Every structure is written in structure tokens, then in C-alpha cells.
Amino acid sequence: MATALATPGVWSARDTTPAEIETALLRLMHDRSEHDRVQAPARVLNLIVVIDKEWKGEVSNRLDRISHDNPARTIMVVVEPGMKGLNAMATLIHGEPSEPGGAAVFRERIEIECGSEQLDHLDTIIYPVLATEVGTVVWSPHGHPEAIDSLRGLASSVLMDSLEYHDWREALTRLCELNDHVDVSDLAWLRSIPWRERVAAAFDPQVWRPSLLEISKVTVRMHPGSTISALLWLGWMASRMGWKPGPMDLNAEDNKQGHVLGPNGDILLSIDNDTTMPVPGLSGLTIETSKGLSIALDRGAGGLRATRILPNGDETDWTILGASRGEDGILAHGVTHAMFPDALFEPALVAARDMAASK
């Protein structure tokens, strides 16, 4: 028997059931509708977040900071090893009307505490509290792959960060495995957007487009341990250019090399460690052509520093401002991106997988 506590806009209970949580949530919304103002949920998706209890506060704060960009029925599954049964809390967070006398909205947040052993059948716990008229995104920043696997049948998309894996091979395998069953939104992929946009822009003017067919070497510089980010970026480049990927020597400690087959022959790919890079991810890249043209992008103060060297040796430098969204911006974009999958991601992932294949 659950022991429940209800206050205006809040319900909580210990030793409860999914059905009781669903009933309590419906009752909270019914009570809200009896007020003199029209109330409606600010909800465009279900966001299921599976977290370890010790990090609950940090993740909750991050979700609060992006809530205006991604209004959702947020369901936080708080994992406590060894716990039996379910504890839960449902909260309606009320907003003010946009104009006097207008309709107000509220946000829904549900917290469910459970033990690790319950994650294998998490779908049976979550299903009764999902809003059925919208899509569902699942995010498990602290691992728990069994939870993701259990929820795949309910999810429209899975949000993950492949940089959180200590082994890039494990990250790549997991990305491919999930992508076979559900759309994937990878934060590591999204962090490379500025690099992809700037490279595309560099070759967009008609005068530079013929140089795309003359590319002979591509070098990516990265924080040590960010091989998955480099592979996904190279996979994007290969898939957009129609290059045929071949296996790279990715066991080298520093300089990892391989080739792809382009329209005019082999193109050398190189992944170099940058020990000065303070955070995971890419630090720079250089594209060279057989005619002597090179374009380089590197992280710098205030944005990306770009350098173009012409075949005659003339050099032009400029700074591209505002290249980074910050981690909160990346997370907000990741949730949005999860509902509108990037058609470029899967071809890039397939190319990255081919580059990582054993020789």
C-alpha cells in the first residue's frame, strides 16, 4: 500500500505503483483545470531521463535551464542500487499567462526512484505515465544500457553522448547497435556542427568548388581520447563527398592514418592528438589539395581561427565568431534534434564504421 502526500500541484508517495502515479498525475491536472484560469500543459514531447541518484541535482538543474527551449513531460528515473519498490513524485510547475486574462501553461515533472534490478523492465514502469499524443526521447547520461534497451520500443529517439565512453570502439558499436533500432541523437555529433558548417561555407563560393575534387589530404586534430568525434567528422566528409572509405590504422597512439578512394585516387586521412586541447572534442582540421591549396580551422579565442593558403603562397587569416553553443545549448539542441533526426548522421556513422573496420 502506497503512502501518499498531496499538496497543491504536487503529489508524492512511497512504495507506489505505475498505475497510482498515472492516477495521481491525472488528478493533479483535473484539479488544475478547475481553477478560474485556463491551464494547458507545455508539452511537445516526453523526455525520459535515467540518472544515478547522486547526480540528480546536477541533471535536474541542467533540465531546468533548457526547459523553455524544450517543453516536455519530463520523467526522471532516479536509480538507487539495492532499492526495492518505487517511490515517486509528480509536480505541475505553473507558469503565468502571456497576457492578462490569457491562458496559462504548466510543465510536468515526474520523478520515479527505483533500484538497478528494475531497469530491465523499465518500460512497464514508464508506459502508464507517458503522454501518448507526443513523441518520446530517452536519455541516460550515466550509462544503464539495460534501461535504454528496455525503453527502445517506446522511444521515438535516443539521446546519447558517445564521448562519455572511455573506449571509442565501444561507443561506435553502441551507436551502430542503437541506430539499427531507433533514431539516435549523439551530442558528440552535434558538437561538430560548427566544424561542418564552416568547412561547407569555405567551399561554397563557386570559385572554390572545383577544389573539392582536388582534395588529397584531410587532417583532424583532437583532444586525446576523442577518436569517435574525429571518426564521425571524417565520416561526414566522406559520405558528403562520395568517397569510398577504407580501414584506418586506429591503433596508433598519436598519428592515426588511413585512405579513402576519391574521384581522382587515394586521399590520405590523418587523426592527430592535440595535447593542448583542454576539453574533449575537435581542436582543428586542415584540408589540402593536390594543387597546393589548404584550408585550416583551429579553435581560438572567441571562435574558430581560419587560414587559407593559396598555391602561390598567399595566406589569408580570419576569425569565425560564435562557433560554440556551450554544453547547455548542445543539450537543448540535442533534445530538439532527437525529434527531427539529421539525415546526414546515418551515412556519416556508416562511413565511420567502415573506417574503423579491421585491416
pLDDT tens profile 290-320: 999 999 999 987 788 999 999 999 999 988 8
Q: What is the pTM of this model?
A: 0.89
pLDDT tens digit string along 61-120? Answer: 888 888 777 788 999 999 999 999 999 999 987 765 555 555 667 788 999 999 999 999
| 74, β-bridge pairs | 47, 109
Report the CATH number of the 191-355 domain.
3.30.360
At 1 the pLDDT is: 45
pLDDT tens string 220-235? 999 999 999 999 999 9
For the chain, where do the domains classified as CATH 3.30.360 start and end? 191-355
Question: What pLDDT, on the 0 to 100 scale, is given for residue 175?
Answer: 96
Question: What is the average pLDDT value for the chain, to the nearest integer?
Answer: 89
